[in-house]
Amino acid sequence: MKEKETEEKTYVEDIDRSIYDFRYDEKDSYRVDEGLTEEIVRQISEEKNDPQWMRDFRLESLKIFNKTEMVDWGPDISGLDMDNIVTYVRPNTDRMHANWDEVPTDIKDTFERLGIPQAERESLAGVGAQYDSELVYHNVKDEVASQGVIYTDLESALHTEHADRIREHFMKLVPPTDHKFAALHGAVWSGGSFVYVPSGVSVEIPLQSYFRLNAPGAGQFEHTLIIVDEGAYLHFIEGCSAPKYNVANLHAGCVELFVGEGATLRYSTIENWSKNMYNLNTKRARVEKNGKVEWISGSFGSHISYLYPMSVLAGENARAEFTSVTFAGEGQNLDTGTKVLHNAPNTSSYVNTRSISKSGGISTFRSSVVVSNKAKGSKSSVSCQSLMLDDISRSDTIPAMDIRTSDADIGHEARIGRISDDVVFYLMSRGMSEEDARALIVTGFADTVGKELPLEYAVEMNNLIRLEMKGSIG
């Protein structure tokens, strides 16, 4: 009986992604052969002029990779054939720049279209931009640098006075033995950032790294190492995107965060990889006494994701907060969640996640909370809510808890729901179209994360949701 509009009804996801989905012909000056061999790892190491220990580390990691079984407990990744992945693509620029005008035009245009230089001018203390395997731009505002804050790429830092500090921390939180893709990362890592905030320094405005994968069939393996010393504060933002190709791309990055005594680190990510991406990323934070890590995570892109940022609460009274939203649309299987290890007295963790699935998308939330017998008086609260937008989508919640002390306060809550017809009707009764009403309900559902993000990222997140909701009725 109802007359419905038919324009905009067709599913046009790949066209509508135009903000992210543009590409330039690859003009890389250098790319290694497909696949993974000792020869390739040596080539990458050569290309990067690694110190000897790093070269040995890469080769050792490769051995571990070859010995380690493929993961078999999560979404199917058999579509990922390592023999077809190019692990290193150097863009056509011979070095990293601190001035956008020196960055090659096509690369600069890419970041302009993504709004990075503008964000840098308006609201960031420093920016790093990675294109395929290498950082093409890195700059930090003078006032931040003068406080002793280091924000640079890892490779060049390996040849400076920071070398020892890097060696002391590099892949100590996420060792190559952790899982197969951690080993792969150890062998072929390239790019990423090294951040050091000295004791007592509070960086008032955020630093941001943006990762862009332009080359088809390539992998991106950036390593982010952040050390926030005693009593210091930092907000670090990471963004990622890629245009869509018909071949599989792989992202196996690694993030290691060291939060010192009484320090606070906020780590925000809006991930919007294209839907041919295998996003097998490992992130981990170690938090000392009275320190705090705050994870804010938005996962929108990729074909398959395995993503479980972990907080190791190593010192008394250390705290972790984890806030995330995951949106799985057509053809996406996003397996996300978090892990917390309470390993000292009076530590606390607070986890609040939202996941949305639509058009056959699969969204799985996994959490693991371990409270060791050393963690008396600890508290943990885990809450996950899922929203399924239709009957063909799927949402699962898999919480695990391992509590080794009787003196702990642990809570878990999970809810799975659908968009309420009553709310849609209410909004429509005020003149809103059905599509807008549903989009509003979904952004409202994701608002716990939106509220935690800086305004321009919250706007970007809401735009991503609107994009996903467009034409979804019918």
Partner 1 sequence: MAKEILHVKDLKVEVEEKEILHGLSLSANEGEVHVIMGPNGAGKSTLGYSLMGHPSYIKTGGNISFLGEDITDEPTDKIAKRGMFLSFQNPVEVPGITLSNFIRNALEQRTGKHVRVWDFNKKLEATMSILQMDKDYAMRDLNVGFSGGEKKKAEILQLLLLAPSLAILDETDSGLDVDAVRTVSQGIEEYKKQVNGALLIITHSTKILEALSVDKVHVLVDGRIVAEGGSELVDEINKSGFERYIS
Region of 217-225, 264-272, 297-305, 431-439 interacting with partner 1 (CB under 8 A) = 431-439
Q: How far is the CB of 431 from partner 1 (least distance, A)?
A: 3
Told to check if 352 binds partner 1 by CB under 8 A, we report no
Residue 458 touching partner 1 (CB under 8 A): no
Residue found by looking up tokens 């705050």 in the block? 294
For residue 107, the cross-strand partners are: none
Q: Does residue 431 belong to the site contacting partner 1 (CB under 8 A)?
A: yes
Q: Contact, 290 vs 315, CB < 8 A?
A: yes
Smallest separation, CB 418 to partner 1 (Å) = 14
| 443 near partner 1, rule: CB under 8 A | yes
**317 lies in the binding site for partner 1 (CB under 8 A):** no
Candidates 63, 444, 459, 474: give the one binding partner 1 (CB under 8 A).
444
469 is a contact residue toward partner 1 (CB under 8 A)? no
Q: If binding is defined by CB under 8 A, does position 447 make contact with partner 1?
A: yes
Q: Which lies closer to partner 1 via its Cβ, residue 27 or residue 415?
A: 415
> Measured from the CB of residue 457, what is the shortest distance to partner 1 in angstroms?
16
Residue with tokens 């040995």: 56
User: How many other CB atoms are found less than 10 A from the CB of residue 390?
Assistant: 13
| 300 near partner 1 (CB under 8 A) | no
Q: Residue 19 or 427: which CB sits closer to partner 1?
A: 427
135 vs 384, beta carbon nearer partner 1: 384
Looking at the Cβ atoms of 60 and 434, the one nearer to partner 1 is: 434
Pairing of strands 277-287, 304-307: parallel
Among 441, 461, 464, 467, the residue binding partner 1 under the rule CB under 8 A is 441
Residue 84: which of 149, 156, 35 has the closest Cα? Answer: 35
Minimum distance from residue 453 beta carbon to partner 1 (Å): 14
Q: Which position among 21, 47, 112, 434 is part of the footprint of partner 1 (CB under 8 A)? A: 434
Work out how close the CB of 422 gets to partner 1 at its nearest, in angstroms, rounded to a whole number: 6
Please, which residue, 288 or 435, has the CB nearer to partner 1?
435
- By beta-carbon proximity to partner 1, the closer residue of 69 and 422 is 422
The window from 117-125, 132-140, 374-382, 439-447 that contacts partner 1 (CB under 8 A) reads 439-447
Is 455 an interacting residue with respect to partner 1 (CB under 8 A)?
no
Contact between 326 and 334 under an 8 Å Cβ cutoff? The reply is yes
Q: At what angle do helices 421-428 and 434-445 cross, to 10 degrees?
A: 120
The answer to the question of residue 456 lying near partner 1 (CB under 8 A) is no
Contact indicator for 301, 274 with CB cutoff of 8 Å: yes
Q: Is 53 in the site for partner 1 (CB under 8 A)?
A: no
Residue 16 touches partner 1, criterion: CB under 8 A: no
How big is the site for partner 1, counted in residues (CB under 8 A)? 26
Is the CB of 231 or the CB of 450 nearer to partner 1? 450
445 near partner 1, judged by CB under 8 A: yes
Query: Shortest distance, CB of residue 296 to partner 1, whole angstroms?
Result: 17
Residues 388-427 as x/- pattern, contact with partner 1 by CB under 8 A: --------------------------------xxxx-xxx
- What's the token pair of residue 423? 């709310």
Output the smallest distance, CB 449 to partner 1, in A: 11
Residue 324: closest CA among 364, 361, 377:
364
- Return the number of the residue (22 or 426) whose C-beta is nearest partner 1: 426
What amino acid occupies position 224? Answer: T
Interface residue with partner 1 among 82, 205, 419, 432 (CB under 8 A) is 432
Query: Under the rule (CB under 8 A), what is the footprint of partner 1?
Result: 1-4, 420-423, 425-434, 440-441, 443-447, 450
